[in-house]
Chain A
C-alpha cells in the first residue's frame, strides 16, 4: 500500500444466498485510492457497485478481506469502532441527495457538526463557508422541498465535505440530473477531491464523470478492471 493511500480494499469477498446456491458479488477484489484521487467505477446493473461502496464505506462487513481507511484497518473492529471510524473519515453522496426533509440546507451541514460534537458556532461558520463554496449561501435557509434537484445534490456534497472526510463515496450522484446540472455536480466533486485531498470513489456512467476521473474502473464478475490498462 502506498503512503498516500486513503482507501484500500484488499481481497474482499462478498456473497449473497441465491436459492440453494451462493452468488458471489465481489470476489477477492482489490482497490487502492490515494488522497486527492477521483476514481470512477462503472458496471452493469447488478454487478455489485453499491455493495462495493457499502463495503468501502464500512456500511457492510465483507465475508473476507480487509478495508483500510486512512491507514486504519477496519478488520476486527467492533460495530461502535466502525461507526466512529466512519464518522471521522468517511462521507457519502447519494443518488437522490438523501437530505432530511425537516432541515434547511445549512442545518443539513450543521447536523454533521452536531454528530461530530463540534461547537455549534464553529459548525455554523464552516457550514456557511461550504455553502458559499458551492454557491448555495443564498439558499442556506431553504428546506429540501424548496430546492431543485441540482441544488439538493450540491447541498448533499457540501454535507459530505462538512465531515472533513479522508474518503468520499458517491453513488451515482448525477443519475437524476440533466446534463448541465450533472456537470456542475461532477465538477464540484472533482474540485473537492483535489482541494481537500479526499480519496473519492464514485459509481457513475456518464461521460462527464469519466472525463473528470483520474482512473476509470469497471466492475465485472466481482473484480475491478481498469479501463485503458
Chain B
C-alpha cells in the first residue's frame, strides 16, 4: 500500500467527506447499539440475574408470565426429576401507591418461596420468610423510596412495607419487587389461590428429562434466553434495533461502494499508469481496497469513540442506554467489513482498466 498511504496522508481533504459520513454512521450505530443493549437490560435484567437455566410455562403461554398459570402438581413432576432443582415463580405487573406520600411505583412483582434456590442470600431468605413485605430494586432508592415506606398494591387490599433493597434489576421496563410467594398469590388470587403460580424455574437436569416432564405436565420448557422473549416489547425492540443496524450497515456499504467507484473513475488514468509500470490487477486492488480499509477503520473507530462518549453521557440520565464492549466491537467490525465489502463493487471496474490509457490510446 505504498501509494495508498501517501495518498491518504497528502490528499486528506479528498477523503474527508467519506470519512465524516462513515464516522457519523458509526456514531449512530454505536448509539443504537447502546440503546439496544440498554433496552434489553431494561427489559430482562431482572430475569437474567436470577440463577435458573430453564423456565416452564403453561403450554401456549408464549413465555409470558401473565398468560401462564400452573398448579402444584406440575412442580412435583419437575421436582421428582433427578438432578433438577425446581421452584415456583409468581410474576405480575402491579401499581404500588405510597401510603406515606412517596412516589407511586409500577412494579414487576415476583413472588418467590423463601427456600427457593432463586433466593441465594440469607438476608433475602429472611426478608421473604418474615412478615409480608417488599424487597425492591435498589434503583428505587434513588427515587426517594425508603425502608419502612408502606405501599398499597393495586388490585388488592394489601398494604405492604418496604423491607429492603437488593440488586433486582428490571423486567418489562419496570423495576422488580420481590415478595413471598404466598403474598404474591394473595395479591393475584385473593383467598382462592389454591397454590397457583405463574411458572417453574429450573436448574440442572437433561433436556430429555425436562422435555418428558414438560409433556407430562402440559408445559413449555424454555431456556433462559428464550424466556426473555416473553418480556413485554422485548422481541419488537430487539427486532427493530437489529433492523435499523442492518440498514445502517447496508447504507455504509453502498456509500463506500459508490465513493470507491467514483474514486476509481477519477483515477482511471492513474490506475492505467500503474498497470503500464507493470503493476498487476492484484497490486492495484490491494492498494485501493487497503486504502478504503484504512479510511473506513479510522473513521469507524473515531465514530465509535464519539458514540461511546455520547452513550456514557446519556447513560447518566434515566435513558435506557448501556455500553457493552462486545456489542460495540461487533458494530465496529461489521461497519469495517461492510465498508471493505462495499469497495469490492469497483473490483471489476479496476480490473478492466487498460494500461494503454496511460498513453492516451484507446485500448
Contact surface of A with B, Cβ cutoff 8 Å:
16, 50-51, 53-54, 57, 59-60, 80, 83-84, 86-88, 90-92, 94-95, 98, 100-103, 107, 110-112, 114-116, 143, 163, 171
Could you tell me if B276 and A115 are in contact, using CB atoms closer than 8 angstroms? Answer: no
The winner among A60, A115, A163 for most chain B CB atoms within 10 A is A115
Given contacts A50-B361, A60-B356, A92-B358, contact A80 B11 (CB under 8 A): no
Tell me the nearest residue of chain A to B270, going by C-beta. A100
Could you tell me if A92 and B359 are in contact, using CB atoms closer than 8 angstroms? Answer: yes
Among candidates B278, B354, B358, B359, residue contacting A116 with C-beta atoms closer than 8 Å: B278
Cα of A111 to Cα of B5 in the assembled complex, Å: 12
Question: How distant is B360 from chain A, measured CB to nearest CB, in Å?
Answer: 7
Could you tell me if A111 and B361 are in contact, using CB atoms closer than 8 angstroms? Answer: no
Could you tell me if B278 and A102 are in contact, using CB atoms closer than 8 angstroms? Answer: no
Given contacts A84-B278, A92-B276, contact A103 B359 (CB under 8 A): no
What count of chain B residues pass the 8 Å CB interface test?
27
Query: Is B280's CB within 8 Å of the partner chain A?
Result: yes
- Chain A residues with CB under 8 A of B11: 101-102
Among candidates A59, A100, A107, residue contacting B276 with C-beta atoms closer than 8 Å: A59
Query: Is B167's CB within 8 Å of the partner chain A?
Result: no
Given contacts A100-B270, A143-B10, contact A86 B278 (CB under 8 A): yes
Given contacts A102-B11, A115-B283, contact A171 B359 (CB under 8 A): yes
Tell me the nearest residue of chain A to B9, going by C-beta. A102
In chain B, positions 246-291 with a C-beta closer than 8 Å to chain A are 269-270, 273-280, 283
Cα of A16 to Cα of B363 in the assembled complex, Å: 10
Could you tell me if A60 and B2 are in contact, using CB atoms closer than 8 angstroms? Answer: no
Given contacts A107-B6, A114-B2, A143-B10, contact A86 B276 (CB under 8 A): yes
- Chain B residues with CB under 8 A of A102: 3, 6-7, 9-11
Question: How distant is A57 from chain B, measured CB to nearest CB, in Å?
Answer: 7
Could you tell me if B273 and A54 are in contact, using CB atoms closer than 8 angstroms? Answer: no
In chain B, positions 311-363 with a C-beta closer than 8 Å to chain A are 354-356, 358-363
Question: How distant is A181 from chain B, measured CB to nearest CB, in Å?
Answer: 21
Question: How distant is B1 from chain A, measured CB to nearest CB, in Å?
Answer: 9
